[in-house]
Structure 1
Amino acid sequence: MPRTRLDADSAARVATTLQALATPSRLLILARLREGPCAATELATEVGMEQSACSHQLRLLRNLGLVVGRRQGRSVIYDLYDNHVAELLDQAVYHTEHLRLGLPDTPDTDRPAG
Structure 2
Amino acid sequence: MDNVRARDDCDACIIHEDAVEKAKTRAKDLEGNTIVRLSDIFKVMGDPTRLRIIHALSSGEMCVCDIAAALGMEHSAISHQLRILRNMRVVKFRKQGKEAIYSLDDEHVLQLFNGGLEHARHG
Scaled by the length of structure 2, the TM-score of the pair is: 0.75
Q: Indicate yes or no: 2:117 matched with 1:97.
A: no
Question: Which range moves more in the overlay, 85-94 or 39-48?
Answer: 39-48
Aligned residue runs from structure 1 range 10-21, under 5 A: 10-21=34-45
User: By how many angstroms is 1:57 displaced?
Assistant: 0.4
Greater Rg over alpha carbons, structure: 2
Cα distance in 1 for residues equivalent to 2:47 and 2:90 = 14
Task: State the number of aligned residues.
Answer: 97
| Residue identity opposite 1:81 in structure 2 | D
Shift of 1:31: 0.3
The alignment-based identity, stated in percent, is 37
3-state secondary structure, aligned to 1:25: helix
Runs of 4+ in 1 over 3 A off after TM superposition: none
Letter in 1 for 2:106: D
Gaps of 5+ in 1: 100-114
Q: Which residue of 2 aligns with 1:81?
A: 105
Structure scoring higher RCO (CA < 8 A, sep ≥ 6) equals 1
**Distance (whole Å) between structure 1 residues aligned to residue 82 and residue 58 of structure 2:** 14
User: 1:49, CA displacement in angstroms?
Assistant: 1.4
